[in-house]
Chains A and B, each alone.
Chain A
Amino acid sequence: NAGVTQTPKFRILKIGQSMTLQCTQDMNHNYMYWYRQDPGMGLKLIYYSVGAGITDKGEVPNGYNVSRSTTEDFPLRLELAAPSQTSVYFCASTDGGRPPDTQYFGPGTRLTVL
């Protein structure tokens, strides 16, 4: 059982480049989330999804886009990378209980924008 997987583990981008961070979960969870973790700042929610075809903004959505075409996948897109997007990105998922219960996290993607 793989849980939540993320690719790539590390990436260096130049300013203005674009990329997609991949996230897949095999637990049939409805809810999925993208966070960024900056040093000493905890985790901030970027976007989340409550099911295939449904996404919504979190606390810090600017500069990012998401899509949710399947239950399993929740990619995060950076269109024009900026140094302020240097961070560690975590994807998480949880089941559809009321309220949604424990979130399961992927191992993270460390992104540097130079």
Chain B
Amino acid sequence: GDSVTQMEGPVTLSEEAFLTINCTYTATGYPSLFWYVQYPGEGLQLLLKATKADDKGSNKGFEATYRKETTSFHLEKGSVQVSDSAVYFCALRGANSKLTFGKGITLSVRP
């Protein structure tokens, strides 16, 4: 079945540091890939998405590129801010149209 693997957390960075959060997936066919973010006390909200190979999703300074050859969708940001502190989930939508989530990773950014 479909699965998403995220790097182990938590991650703690200083403000303006570079961020990479790894995500790899297993799926049949051609899934769509997503990053969702969950701020403290809130529900999940879509951060960015990519629907086909080599697509790059971007939003709020975050980027992720759909790499079919490595089955990856790593999230990056060049300079994190304290306000980026949240839990980040990688997810895929497979052939059955349901979302499969990774376990999530907590990011804390220090001033």
A: residues with CB less than 8 A from B are: 4, 33, 40-43, 45, 48, 58, 90, 92, 99-100, 102-108
Contact = CB atoms under 8 A, between A and B. Distances in A.
Contact of A106 (B36, B43, B102, B103): B43
B93 A99 contact: yes
B43 A90 contact: yes
B82 interface: no
B44 A90 contact: yes
A43 B101 contact: yes
Given A43-B101, A100-B97, A4 B43 contact: yes
How many B residues are at the interface, by size bracket?
20 to 34
B43 A105 contact: yes
A103 B98 CA distance: 10
A100 B99 CA distance: 10
B17 interface: no
9 contacts: A40-B103, A42-B103, A43-B99, A43-B101, A99-B97, A102-B34, A102-B49, A104-B45, A105-B44
Dominant secondary structure of chain B at its interface with chain A: strand
B58 interface: no
B58 to A, nearest CB: 15
A90 B45 CA distance: 12
Given A58-B98, A102-B49, A42 B104 contact: yes
